[in-house]
Amino acid sequence: MITSSDARRSRKRFAASDATTPGTAPEPPWLALGLPEGKSRSVAKDAGEAQRLLGQRGPHRSFFESFTRALITLCTSLAVVLSSISICDGEWLLAGDHLFGLWRFCTASNQTELHCLRDLSQTQVPWLASGLVVARIVATLAVVVAIFGLEFLIVSQVCEDSLAWRKWAMGSTLLLISFILSFGGLLSFLVLLRSQVTLLGLTLMFWSDFTASFLLFLNGISGLHINSITHINNSMHPWGLPTKV
């Protein structure tokens, strides 16, 4: 007759033999959880993928850095709006009874009515018609490039992955390119009408585009600078741009 104490001793011997038997594979975790093998492997794969994605996230940003980047993005948006309004209006210079713009030329009769012409060749200013075509193209292209740069800045703020600094550097570089184009449009307008330009004759729309151009330069330089001082990788270009390996 087998007593309860004998049964307990036999169970202990079997447990000890199982623990010391060489070559015995451990019990798979999905069997311990009571899950099928295929489903458990899928869960493990998803967990590994989630851990990999979390590992790709960039370092946590401080409040000052986040505030500065948000301020640069906001000022860039303001610059795009100012430049767009200024170019759409286009009336940049008032010289006596004449109003010169990117799109038309107006003359005032009896100080009351404006007679506007789109044929700028009738202004009797040499090279004005062809020169303003170039100025319009350059100024409009500056707004387009600034919009793309703003998109890169916003995407780098929303998607804070390991490549966010590259997107921010690309956006800041596009802002500097937009500044060069915008300033070129302003300068070409002033050069074409240099005989008519006075400081008081420049309209509010001109100064709006000038302010937008200055904001684009300031935001581009600031964006590259903050990107260079906050990125941890030592193999970076001093301005935050990727270097050749």
Query: Is residue 95 helix, strand or coil?
Result: strand
Instruction: Write the CA distances from 13 to 3, 7, 82, 226, integer angstroms.
Output: 16, 10, 86, 68
Residue 131 in domain: yes
Q: Nearest 5°: phi and psi at 104? A: -155, 170
Half-sphere exposure of 190 (CA within 13 A, CB side): 15
At 146, the pLDDT band (50, 70, 90 cuts) reads: very high
- 4 pLDDT more than 60: no
Calculate the CA dihedral of residues 64, 68, 74, 75 and round it to 10 degrees. Answer: 150
Domains held by the chain: number: 1
Residue 145 in domain: yes
Residue 87 in domain: yes
Q: What is the mean pLDDT of residues 126-131?
A: 85
Percent residues over pLDDT 90 in the chain = 37
In whole angstroms, what is the distance from residue 38 CA to residue 154 CA? 41
Structure token digits, residue 142 = 């500056």
- 56 pLDDT more than 80: no
Query: Is residue 160 helix, strand or coil?
Result: coil
Domain range for residue 137? 64-93+125-237
The whole-number pLDDT of residue 153 equals 93
In whole angstroms, what is the distance from residue 4 CA to residue 222 CA? 82
Which pTM was predicted? 0.69
Residue 79 in domain: yes
Residue 171 in domain: yes
Angle at 145 between CA 140 and CA 150, to 5 degrees: 125
Q: Which of 82-86, 142-146, 195-199 has the lowest mean pLDDT?
A: 195-199
At 154, the pLDDT band (50, 70, 90 cuts) reads: very high
Residue 137 in domain: yes
In whole angstroms, what is the distance from residue 185 CA to residue 167 CA? 27
At 86, the pLDDT band (50, 70, 90 cuts) reads: very high
Q: What is the mean pLDDT of residues 196-221?
A: 93
The whole-number pLDDT of residue 239 equals 44
Sheet holding 91-95, edge to edge: 91-95, 98-101, 105-109, 113-117
Instruction: Please name every residue paired with 115 in a beta bridge, in sequence order, or none if there are none.
Output: 107
Query: Is residue 78 helix, strand or coil?
Result: helix
Residue 103 in domain: no
- 137 pLDDT more than 60: yes
Segment (H or E) for 113: strand 113-117
The whole-number pLDDT of residue 14 equals 47
In whole angstroms, what is the distance from residue 120 CA to residue 101 CA? 9
Q: Which domain CATH number covers 133?
A: 1.20.140
The whole-number pLDDT of residue 174 equals 96
The whole-number pLDDT of residue 29 equals 53
At 9, the pLDDT band (50, 70, 90 cuts) reads: low
Residue 54 in domain: no
Percent residues over pLDDT 70 in the chain = 68
Look up tokens 């307990």; give the residue: 8
Q: Which of 112-121, 136-145, 163-172 has the lowest mean pLDDT?
A: 112-121
